[in-house]
Chain A
Amino acid sequence: AAGVIQSPRHLIKEKRETATLKCYPIPRHDTVYWYQQGPGQDPQFLISFYEKMQSDKGSIPDRFSAQQFSDYHSELNMSSLELGDSALYFCASSFQGGGQPQHFGDGTRLSIL
């Protein structure tokens, strides 16, 4: 069965650069979630989208923005990268959000030098 696809799997950037992470949800899933997991930490919710509209917002820095496109894929744009942004970024998708199980991608590991 098709799963959530994230790209790239690994990304290395320098401070003050920008990065774009992509997420392709499971077909027919309409809700996408982004999480950040720092070293040794539990996943922190960043932001979610339902039917291309932002549906919920967590601890996402102002330097980050995200959107969901007409084909339901989502992109997380990160600017002015800082060392503390080094983390594993997970995307998950579900059908109709809320109380539905979330299906996670394998994550993008972002390293800031």
Chain B
Amino acid sequence: ILNVEQSPQSLHVQEGDSTNFTCSFPSSNFYALHWYRWETAKSPEALFVMTLNGDEKKKGRISATLNTKEGYSYLYIKGSQPEDSATYLCAFGSSGDKLTFGTGTRLAVRP
């Protein structure tokens, strides 16, 4: 059983704060690391897919880094806005198409 862990489980921040969360995954048999944003009553939305150690991806105020040797990825949100409130899921791909999802970090941004 693959262990994909995310921390913290939940996070409450004030509008304008910058924040980050962690995804830990097995460091062996790495193929890809996905990040998804999941709003209540909607389907998950793909943010990033990273495949190379040291990868850094950016989409607006959101960015992510990847360390495959030590098995972690960070997701950063700069200047959080209330519309950033969602659950952020990471998913680890070891080979083929199968993804193992973490339990998510629930972010709430207060106006």
Q: A-side interface residues toward B, CB under 8 Å?
A: 4, 31, 33, 42-45, 48, 50, 55-58, 90, 92, 97-107
Q: Is the CB of B42 within 8 A of A42?
A: no
Pairwise interchain contact A50-B97, C-beta atoms closer than 8 A: yes
Shortest distance between the CB of A9 and any CB in chain B (Å): 11
Q: Do A56 and B98 touch across chains, with their CB atoms under 8 A apart?
A: yes
A74 to B49, CA, bound (A): 24
Within 8 A of A (CB), among B18-51: 31-32, 34, 36, 42-46, 48-49, 51
Q: List 27 A-B contacts (CB under 8 A).
A: A42-B89, A43-B89, A44-B101, A45-B98, A45-B101, A48-B97, A48-B98, A56-B97, A56-B98, A90-B43, A90-B44, A92-B44, A97-B97, A98-B31, A98-B96, A98-B97, A99-B49, A99-B51, A101-B46, A101-B49, A102-B44, A102-B46, A102-B99, A104-B43, A104-B45, A105-B43, A107-B43
| Contact status B104-A42, CB under 8 Å | yes
Per the bound structure, the CA–CA distance linking A59 and B31 in Å amounts to 20
Q: Which residues of B contact A107 (CB under 8 A)?
A: 43
Q: Which residues of B contact A45 (CB under 8 A)?
A: 98-101
- Cα(A55)–Cα(B93), bound, Å: 14
